[in-house]
Amino acid sequence: MMKNISARFSQLFLRTALSVTMLSAVADRLGLWAKAYSSWGDMDTFIIYTRKLTFFLPEVLSTLAAYIATGLELLLPLMLMLGYKVRIAAYGSSLLLALFAISMTIALGPKAPLDYSVWIGSAAAFLLATQHEYSK
């Protein structure tokens, strides 16, 4: 019984941590964080940052990638928080974070994704995706 409670809490904690982290990034892009705590502050600045990370893409695709990433970073954590299609949301989160980490590594070097724990987030989401059952 104790193992089950511990596993359920760990899973809920992981789902919440992934969700809040991703939703915080979206809130930053929408200007919902105070300037003192903000990395981008608005969508235009995030698009410029995305262009830096996706320098190998044409500008229109880079801009599209910024909007797609934002949409997925809103949808996937909401699915995780609600316990809806958790496996799909966790695999999607893992893939999205892995692509972000790879892009950061290519554009900025290996230190940036390590400093921002992007690889850890991707691995955590992958671990969540491989669970046999999900707690509500």
Give the residue carrying structure tokens 């892995």. 98
- The arithmetic mean of pLDDT across residues 2-26, rounded, is 90
Phi-psi region of 117 (alpha: psi -120 to 50; beta: other; left: phi over 0): left
What are the tokens at 54? Answer: 């996706």
pLDDT at 136 over 70: no
pTM of the full predicted structure? Answer: 0.91
List strand residue ranges (DSSP E) for 1-136, in order: none
Mean pLDDT of 29-52: 94
Are the beta carbons of 63 and 47 closer than 8 angstroms? yes
Give tens-digit pLDDT for 108-134.
999 999 999 999 999 999 999 999 877
For residues 60 and 114, give the distance between their C-alpha atoms in angstroms, rounded to a whole number.
28
For 37-48, how does the pLDDT look when each residue is reduced to its tens digit (9 = 90+)? 999 999 999 999
